[in-house]
Amino acid sequence: MPQRQPLESKVFRDAMSLLASAVSIVTTDGKDGRHGFTASAVCSVSDNPATLLICVNRSASTHAHLLTNGLLAVNVLGHQHQSISNCFGDRRVKMTERFAAGEWRRGEIGMPLLTDALVSLECRISQQQDIGTHTVIFAQALCAEFSLAPGEGLVWFNRSYRNT
């Protein structure tokens, strides 16, 4: 079999834009303070133990704080959360302004939970691996809180928001 080079970054990004992804806000709080970012690279790994995979760009302002705190919450967004997703995804927006964009409360283990998220999962980071520009985080889910009024999910597809 002939040797092939990996895809160029632009071709890969174009291909991945056609992979629909749920949109979440990943938050953390602890000795490094409260931080959060919008993520579309979150997925289930296993239900025993309950584990999620979260990919975080190492250049993201939240990256180091997330690893130092060691705990996080994945707040799965509904279709009504486009503006808060944009706010948490904009590097120019300060953390205080990001958290002012929604209604937040502390979860069972103290993580910031978006009050009307479809579901919020509080997790402990169990493993991490740097790959390319990102850190892949494996996080064991410790608590789950479901919305009282679940609606349609918010999805990122072909570089724009969609509803499920």
What is the residue type of 56? V
- Residue tagged 């959360």 (tokens): 81
Question: Is 37 among the domain residues?
Answer: yes
- What is the rounded average pLDDT of the residues 61-74? 97
- Contact 85/23 with Cβ under 8 angstroms? yes
Query: Residue 84 — pLDDT band, cuts 50, 70, 90?
Result: very high
Question: Is 15 among the domain residues?
Answer: no
Structure tokens at 30: 């602890």
pLDDT of 65 over the 80 cut: yes
Question: Is 97 among the domain residues?
Answer: yes
CATH code, domain with 149: 2.30.110.10
Question: Is 14 among the domain residues?
Answer: no
Rounded Cα distance between 20 and 40, Å, is 9
Question: Is 112 among the domain residues?
Answer: yes
Domain that holds residue 107: 20-163
Query: What's this model's pTM, rounded to 2 decimal places?
Result: 0.95
> Which of these, 58, 110, 101, lies nearest to 80 by C-alpha position?
101
Preceding omega of 6 cis (within 30 degrees of 0): no
The CA distances from residue 108 to 69, 71, 72, in Å, are 16, 12, 12
Strand 154-157, strand 160-163: pairing? antiparallel
Residue 68: per-residue pLDDT: 97
The CA distances from residue 153 to 61, 64, 106, in Å, are 26, 29, 22
Question: Is 63 among the domain residues?
Answer: yes
pLDDT in tens, 120-164: 999 999 999 999 999 999 999 999 999 877 789 999 999 999 988
Structure tokens at 70: 């060691």
Query: Residue 2 — pLDDT band, cuts 50, 70, 90?
Result: confident
Question: Is 13 among the domain residues?
Answer: no
| Number of structural domains in the chain | 1
Question: Is 91 among the domain residues?
Answer: yes
